[in-house]
Structure 1
């Protein structure tokens, strides 16, 4: 019979012991060591257990915790440790038989109860250690979100950022210390919030409103969504390219010749499980890709300043590759020699030379070869006519 876990991750509310069920109290009473942030330790009375403040940064606490392996240890966390909490980080460092978790009500559950919002239809985000721009893809009329924030200054920054984007009419429900004696709920508009005494811990119930521009949920965002010097896969071609790339959960993309970063950014926006690396030879464009990704809530995009294929060695191998710039025979030779079988490849060509190269490789490896010809209505004297864009040849293949 296996031994009981020595480590318990205990979800604690702002009411301290008053909110703990009997089983959680018993675990805490038997503990030899209690670890947690100073605020959590202050919520429980002094006992016989050794009390250790969890250090900052958080990762520094893992070796301390490992040093107490075999003793009865309780780690205090907020509410539900596995919802934007410490639970998953701790679980990665210990075997399944070593730890157990006793969650409490999450801040999201408490906030939804105060606001009478159906939690299953409310966006939930933990931004206490992440940029506010993670909200950007979700800013649309009538969107509701519960957002965990670091402190009162972060609430003020959120209100200012929303106003700058044209969402100053959004309602912010500021919820402090939910579930405890210091609980307070106040409401105001982003444009004139005016609260200067917001106490930690805090979350915001957000109801989006205003004249700001919402980002579409479909592929092919408007070109002016991105900062660009003109080197961008235009919206209709981008939509067709994302369709050809066909992102699936958990896949990793190489966006070679990233330009503005639009392909990699829209790829990431399809699903939070996706990852991407943009490779761009020009330093100014690599910096622009970084700015676009950060501003549009896709800060997890990895940006590599370098020339392919030289810059590809040592990178995490992709499931999917897009070549939007720098197409050459040497690059295609490298990719076909180094990538795993089953990797999907999509390449766009505009010049006659690159089109001819794709025709050669299509004959060699097969796949689909598609010619995209687009025209838009434009003034033609006093009337209108069709103005054609350069045709794009797109090759899609599975290696």
Structure 2
């Protein structure tokens, strides 16, 4: 580890050198290499430093940067490099003593200042390299959100997406090149945003109207938001299952026998630090899980097409396991013998054979055995009566 950082990550605004302090300008003047996107490099006057354009995809630039060790290097980034920027990626790939950071004004701060919005009351999204569907769990009446987009064309794509999801009355605030001489701001309807012509770099602030199909925040999301062939843990059972799984910050879930992926997807919706892997033996269902996860903004769900326990060995170890399909003695033996103490296990069963198996393992390992019986009112001739669902046996235990 070097005592003196050779690498500086510098947050640059659209005003170029005008927005930098004298000390920060001196760092640029003393640099041997300046590396960054072409747009950022163009904001810096020509000097003695070698200039290297950061390639696309972004990951291709890391080996190049690594090869510059020993030379005073400045990497240019937008605004605050640690707010949906390059700073965190560089920090993960280089030792702490190798680099330092000089953040600039973030686009989010500039946008909030233009709109008069309290920044703590707005949600911020970096969608310049992420799908628009990441908005889906958050779209609801009264939402104020500030988004970074990849280019001007993405404004129309965002307007189209909001129209398709039922939020067509949302107010659009489009801001281009914030903080620089090219800055422009527009307050538009979605129709105007669809027809507009906007220049990169662009961010959009959304003031979501009181229309659209918002997804509830509670566990047990509506069944209708999932594409399914009928193989799905229904809403009331799903709510009880998520409660038993008890997700905590930073934890990883195995969802064995994913079906429609509803358990893994809802697990991820609980907190952005959670991760999950769904294991599904049928290819068509694995593909359906992938579509559901992407449509609901949970693209970080890992979908494995395979059987358990055969497909489990190479996977990162879980903090919690849900068995919704493929329950067997072999699977339970593998889990109890392989996974570390403290792992939480929840298994649901409907058939008499599966119920007998869970009863046996409850006697062996303890935990909690729950019988869930539900009935819904339905037509019974000219009147109504209760129509019962198959009872579900739920076993939950900490290994």
> What residue in structure 2 maps to residue 155 of structure 1?
155
Q: CA deviation at 1:21?
A: 1.3
1:102-155 per-residue CA deviation (whole Å, 9 max, x = no partner) reads: 000001111111111111110000000000000000000110100000011111
Q: Equivalent residues in 2 for 1:313-328 (5 A)? A: 313-328=313-328
* 1:5 maps to 2:5: yes
1:256-302 per-residue CA deviation (whole Å, 9 max, x = no partner) reads: 01000000000000001100001111111111100000000001101
Q: Do the aligned residues in 2 keep the contact of 1:256 with 1:324 (CA within 8 Å)?
A: yes
* 1:227 maps to 2:239: no
* 1:211 maps to 2:211: yes
Q: CA deviation at 1:210?
A: 5.3
* 1:257 maps to 2:257: yes
Q: Do the aligned residues in 1 keep the contact of 2:149 with 2:203 (CA within 8 Å)?
A: yes
Q: Equivalent residues in 2 for 1:384-399 (5 A)? A: 384-399=384-399
> What residue in structure 2 maps to residue 70 of structure 1?
70
Q: Equivalent residues in 2 for 1:200-349 (5 A)? A: 200-209=200-209, 211-349=211-349
Q: Do the aligned residues in 2 keep the contact of 1:290 with 1:303 (CA within 8 Å)?
A: yes
1:13-52 per-residue CA deviation (whole Å, 9 max, x = no partner) reads: 0000000112211111111111111100110111111111
After TM superposition, the score normalised by the length of structure 1 is 0.98
Stretch moving more, 331-340 or 183-192: 183-192
- Aligned equivalents of 2:56, 2:221: Cα separation in 1: 40
- Aligned equivalents of 1:302, 1:81: Cα separation in 2: 28
1:81-112 per-residue CA deviation (whole Å, 9 max, x = no partner) reads: 00000011111221111110000000111111
Stretch moving more, 18-27 or 194-203: 194-203
Structure 2 residue matching 1:181: 3-state secondary structure: coil
- Aligned equivalents of 2:109, 2:326: Cα separation in 1: 50
Structure 2 residue matching 1:311: 3-state secondary structure: coil
- How many residues are treated as equivalent by the alignment? 398
Q: Do the aligned residues in 2 keep the contact of 1:152 with 1:196 (CA within 8 Å)?
A: no
- Aligned equivalents of 2:310, 2:160: Cα separation in 1: 43
* 1:33 maps to 2:33: yes
Q: CA RMSD in A?
A: 1.0
1:157-182 per-residue CA deviation (whole Å, 9 max, x = no partner) reads: 11001101111111111110000000
Q: Structure 2: where are the runs of 5+ without partners? A: none
* 1:109 maps to 2:140: no
- Aligned equivalents of 1:183, 1:128: Cα separation in 2: 19
Structure 1 residue matching 2:154: 3-state secondary structure: helix
Q: Structure 1: where are the runs of 5+ without partners? A: none
Q: Do the aligned residues in 2 keep the contact of 1:111 with 1:175 (CA within 8 Å)?
A: yes
> What residue in structure 2 maps to residue 196 of structure 1?
196
Q: CA deviation at 1:192?
A: 4.1
Q: CA deviation at 1:70?
A: 1.4
Q: Do the aligned residues in 2 keep the contact of 1:84 with 1:126 (CA within 8 Å)?
A: yes
Q: Which runs of 4+ in 1 moved over 3 A?
A: none
> What residue in structure 2 maps to residue 362 of structure 1?
362
After TM superposition, the score normalised by the length of structure 2 is 0.98
Q: Do the aligned residues in 2 keep the contact of 1:220 with 1:239 (CA within 8 Å)?
A: yes
